[in-house]
Amino acid sequence: MKDVSRPKQPPSRKRRVSQNEIDALVQASGYVDGTTPRNMAELTVCAFLFAIETAMRSGEILGLTWDKVDEKKVTLPETKNGDTREVPLSPKARQILALLSQFDKPFMVKSGSRDAIFRILRDKAGLNNLHFHDSRAEAIYRLSKVFNVFELSSAIGHKNINSIMFYYKTS
């Protein structure tokens, strides 16, 4: 096995999500902005919109409970890298959470269901190259215009500052 090497990691995906794509996805779900979601398709779109506002990962969003939500932040007790992280909430993110306040937990969608529903909505909207996780990169782009590199690193949970410098170099 001395002559065998591991394959190189593919470059990370840093795809932007346009407002037209967001609008098409919302339209495909039937969701009306500013209303309480009525079904799993609309709740899945709300999770996507929330992800674009917060840069939270899908699993972090789906695992969110009300006791972790404060007025202006969400506390994630254990993230992908094992750390606790505080995620600031934009006015739009707070609005989305307020619309979900009647539910036992904010995003009552199971991971597998979210994946299937998102793919159906994406395909219905004609957005074949869109992944739910693209919302994270889009959020990081947007947040890089608001936060300095250290604040952004803390909010999104990246320990390596170099890994987020790309977002500051790209408009």
The catalytic residue among 13, 72, 80, 145 is: 80
Indicate if 38 belongs to the active site. no
Indicate if 16 belongs to the active site. no
Indicate if 131 belongs to the active site. no
Kindly give the residue spans of alpha helices, DSSP state H, lying in 32-101: 40-54, 58-62, 91-99
Indicate if 136 belongs to the active site. yes
Q: How many CB atoms lie within 10 A of CB 155?
A: 21
Indicate if 80 belongs to the active site. yes
Gap between the Cα atoms of 122 and 6, Å rounded? 33
The catalytic residue among 13, 72, 133, 145 is: 133
The catalytic residue among 31, 114, 136, 141 is: 136
Indicate if 94 belongs to the active site. no
Gap between the Cα atoms of 146 and 22, Å rounded? 21
DSSP string, 2-41: TT--PPPPPPPP-----HHHHHHHHHHHT--TTS---SHH
The catalytic residue among 57, 85, 114, 122 is: 57
Active centre residues (catalytic):
57, 80, 133, 136, 158, 168
